[in-house]
A and B are shown apart, each in its own frame.
Chain A
Amino acid sequence: MTNHNMQSPTQPVTARVSLPEAKPRYMRGIKEPTREEWCLGILILAGLIAFPFFDPGYRFLSLAVSTIFTAIALYGLSLQFGQAGIMSVGHAGIMGVGGYTAAILANQLGLGFWESLPLAMLLSALAAAVVGLPSLRVGGQHYIIITFCFCALLVIALTNGGTFTGAATGLDVGPIPGVFGIRFAKLDNMYFLCLAALTISIAVTFAIVHSPYGRTLWSIRENEPLARAVGINTNLHKIGVFAISGAFAGLGGILQTYYLRHISPELYGAFPSLYLALMIMLGGARPLYGPLIGSIIVNFLPELGGLDPIDSRIAYGVGLLLVILLLPGGVSGGLLSLYRRGTKTRHRLEKGRGLS
C-alpha cells in the first residue's frame, strides 16, 4: 500500500498497513461491511428469496414485484436525497424516461429487454442530469418545485406525442426474452429477476455511500460552501449523483414496463412522483434498507389493512405527517435508533455489572 501523495506526511498510514491484503484499485477506500451489516443483509436477502416459496398467491407476489422495482428507483432517490441532500418530487418522471425508452425502442426498432436495458438506464441518467442542472442555480424548495414541473411537462409531452409515445393510451411491450431457458413471463421468475436487480442496487448503494465519493456527497450535503472551499467540484458531483440516481430510476422504470407490459403517461405523473417522495420519507433516506422498507409499507399497507385505494391514500398521508413529526429519520431510522439505544443499554448494563 504505497502512498503516492508526497505532500501529506501526516497521513495516518497505520490504518492502511493493517489491511490483510492489497485490494483492487476500485475497492480502495470503500469500507468493508461490518459483521452486523453482513448478517442483516444476508438475512433480508434470504427472506426475500424465500418469499415465493411460502406460496403467497398471485396477488401478493405481484405486489412484491411492484415493491421491488419501486425500491430500486427509490435507491437512486436515497442517494440523491439521503447523501447529497437534494430532494426531488419528479423521480417518477425519470422512471418514465426509462420505461418509455424501452417501450419506444421495442415498438420502433423491435429491440428486446436486454438490448434496451443499458440504453434505458443511460437515457434516464442523462435526463436526470439535465433535470438536475437547475439545482446548481436554485436550491431547496425552489428546486423541488422545478422537478415537479419537469415531471408535469413530461406527462404533457408523452400525452401529446402521437403514435410515437402512444398518446394517452400508452404503449405495449412484449415479454422479456428468456435466458438459459428461464421464462420471465412466469411471475416467480420475474420476481427473482427484480430481486437480483434489487440486490445489485443495494450493493452499489452501499459501495457508493461508503466510498470516498459518498463522503464527498456527504460534505456537500452538510456544508456546500465549505466543500467547495476545500477544492471539491460540487457542481460536477451534484450532476454526477443525479445521473446515478437517474440510472437507478431507469432500471426500476424498465422493470416496471416489462412487468406491466403496458405503460401510459399517468404512471409517471405528479402523484406517482409524490408517492415516491412519500415512500422515501416513510422508510428513511439514509439507512441502507430505508427505501426498501418505505416501498414495502406503501405497497403492502392497503392489502394488509384491507383498505380501498382512497382510504389507503388517506392513511399514507396521515402516516407521512406522523413520521415527519415523530420520526424524522423515517421508520428505518426509528428502528435503527431503537436498536442502538438497546445495544447501548446492554453495554451499560454489562459495564455496570462489571463494576459492582
Chain B
Amino acid sequence: MEIFLQQLINSLSVASVTILIGMGITLIFGLAGIVNFAQGEFLMVGGMITWALVMAGVNFFVAMVVAMLAVGLLGLTAERTLFRFTLTRPMNGFIMSIGLSVILQNVVIRTLNEVQKSITPPVTAVWTVGGVDIIAMRAIVVAITAVVVAVTYFGISRSRYGVALRASVADQDTAALMGIPVKRYVTGVFVYGSVLAGLGGALMIALFPITPFTGSVIIIRGFAVSLIGGLGNVGGAVVGGLILGLVDALAAQYGFPQWTDAYSLIVMIVILILRPQGLLGGTMGPRAT
C-alpha cells in the first residue's frame, strides 16, 4: 500500500505536467476553435529554453518565467501568421499545426542536438510524511499547477473576460455585436495556452530529462486529457489528467510496465467512443464538424 501511495504521489507530479498541457489544448481547441498539434512542441521548446538558461547560470524560477514569456511570444507569432487564416477551416489549421510541430522539432534538433537534456533539480529536499517520501520539487510542481488551475478556472468561469470569451464561443456574431473583440480573444486564448505549455515544459525539465522528441509523446497525452474531460472544460482537464495519472500509477505497479503508454490511449479511445463530448461535457470543439 505504501508503495502504491508512493507511486500515486509520484504520478501526481507527472499528472501536473499533463494537466498543464491538456489545459492549454482544451482552451485552444474548445474556446478558440484551433486544434494545435504543435502544443507538445511548444512545451518542449519551453523546456529547452529553461535548460539553456539554467545551464547559463540563471536561477530556475527566473528561467521558468522567461520560458513562459518566450513560448507565449511563439504562440502569438504562430497565431498571427498562421492560424488566423484558417479559423473558418479548422481542419486546415490542424494539418498546418502538424507542419509547425515538425518544423519546431527539427529546428531544435538543428540548433541543439538530439541528446536528452536535464538540469539538477533546483530544490533537492525530501520530506517524509507517514512513511512516504515526498520529493520537494514534485510537491512544488503540484502546487504551481494547482494555483494555475485555480486561476484559470475562476478566470474563465467568474471574471468578465471569461464570460466574454464564453459568449464569443457560444455565438460569435452576437458577441461581436455586443462589442466583444472576438478575434482578439482568440489570440488571447491561444497565447495563454502557449504560456501554459511553456510553464509545463519548464516544470517538466525540473522533474525528468527531455529530448526534442518529448513533444510528440506528450501531445497525445495532452489530447487524451482534454478529450477525456471535455473540450473547453478546465475542470475536465484536471479530471482527465488525474485519471491518466492514476492509470499510469496502477499500470506501473500492477500491470505490464511496457504497456503503460497503451493504457492511456485505450482509455481515451473508449471514452471518445462512449462519450464524444467528454466525461464532464464541453463544447463539441470547433463548430463540431
Query: Min CB distance, B27 to chain A, in Å?
Result: 15
Query: Min CB distance, A10 to chain B, in Å?
Result: 35
Tell me if A325 and B82 are in contact (CB < 8 A): yes
Closest partner residue, chain B, to A313 (CB atom): B106
Query: Min CB distance, B283 to chain A, in Å?
Result: 12
> Which A residues between 257 and 314 are near B, CB-CB below 8 angstroms?
270-271, 274, 277-278, 281, 310-311, 313-314
A317 partner, pick from B100, B256, B269, beta carbons under 8 A:
B100
Say whether A138 faces chain B, with CB atoms less than 8 Å apart: yes
B98 partner, pick from A139, A274, A314, A318, beta carbons under 8 A:
A274
Contact digits for B249-289, partner A, Cβ 8 Å, 1 yes 0 no: 00000001011011001101100110010000000011011
Tell me if B86 and A324 are in contact (CB < 8 A): yes
Query: Min CB distance, A167 to chain B, in Å?
Result: 10
Contact digits for B78-107, partner A, Cβ 8 Å, 1 yes 0 no: 000010011001111011101111110111
Complexed CA–CA distance, A319 and B98 (Å): 12
Stretch at the interface among A22-30, A36-44, A54-62, A153-161: A153-161
A324 partner, pick from B99, B103, B227, B266, beta carbons under 8 A:
B99
Say whether A87 faces chain B, with CB atoms less than 8 Å apart: yes
Complexed CA–CA distance, A140 and B100 (Å): 20
Complexed CA–CA distance, A117 and B109 (Å): 39
Contacts of B119 in A (CB 8 A): none
Say whether A249 faces chain B, with CB atoms less than 8 Å apart: no
Contacts of A152 in B (CB 8 A): 220, 261, 265
A137 and B276 in contact, given A310-B110, A313-B102, A318-B103 (Cβ under 8 angstroms)? yes
Say whether B223 faces chain A, with CB atoms less than 8 Å apart: yes
Contacts of A139 in B (CB 8 A): 288-289
How many of chain A's residues have a CB under 8 angstroms from any CB in B?
40
How many of chain B's residues have a CB under 8 angstroms from any CB in A?
44
Main secondary structure, interface of A, reads: helix
Complexed CA–CA distance, A157 and B258 (Å): 10
Tell me if B82 and A321 are in contact (CB < 8 A): yes
Tell me if A320 and B96 are in contact (CB < 8 A): yes
Stretch at the interface among A13-21, A99-107, A143-151, A228-236: A143-151
Say whether B7 faces chain A, with CB atoms less than 8 Å apart: no
B276 partner, pick from A138, A150, A270, A313, beta carbons under 8 A:
A138
Contacts of B92 in A (CB 8 A): 324, 328
Say whether A340 faces chain B, with CB atoms less than 8 Å apart: no
Contacts of B44 in A (CB 8 A): none
Complexed CA–CA distance, A219 and B250 (Å): 47
Query: Min CB distance, A92 to chain B, in Å?
Result: 14
Say whether A194 faces chain B, with CB atoms less than 8 Å apart: no
Say whether B35 faces chain A, with CB atoms less than 8 Å apart: yes
Contacts of A242 in B (CB 8 A): none
Closest partner residue, chain A, to B102 (CB atom): A317
Query: Min CB distance, B257 to chain A, in Å?
Result: 10
Say whether B216 faces chain A, with CB atoms less than 8 Å apart: yes
Query: Min CB distance, B250 to chain A, in Å?
Result: 17
Say whether A74 faces chain B, with CB atoms less than 8 Å apart: no
| Chain A residues near B (Cβ < 8 Å) | 87, 89, 134, 137-142, 144-146, 148-150, 152-153, 156-157, 159-160, 270-271, 274, 277-278, 281, 310-311, 313-314, 316-321, 324-325, 328
Apart from A140-B90, A141-B91, A313-B106, list 20 A-B contacts with CB within 8 A: A137-B276, A138-B272, A141-B94, A141-B285, A142-B276, A145-B272, A149-B268, A150-B269, A152-B261, A160-B259, A270-B220, A277-B95, A313-B105, A314-B102, A314-B103, A317-B102, A317-B103, A320-B96, A320-B98, A321-B103
| Chain B residues near A (Cβ < 8 Å) | 29, 35, 82, 85-86, 89-92, 94-96, 98-103, 105-107, 109-110, 216, 220, 223-224, 227, 256, 258-259, 261-262, 265-266, 268-269, 272-273, 276, 285-286, 288-289
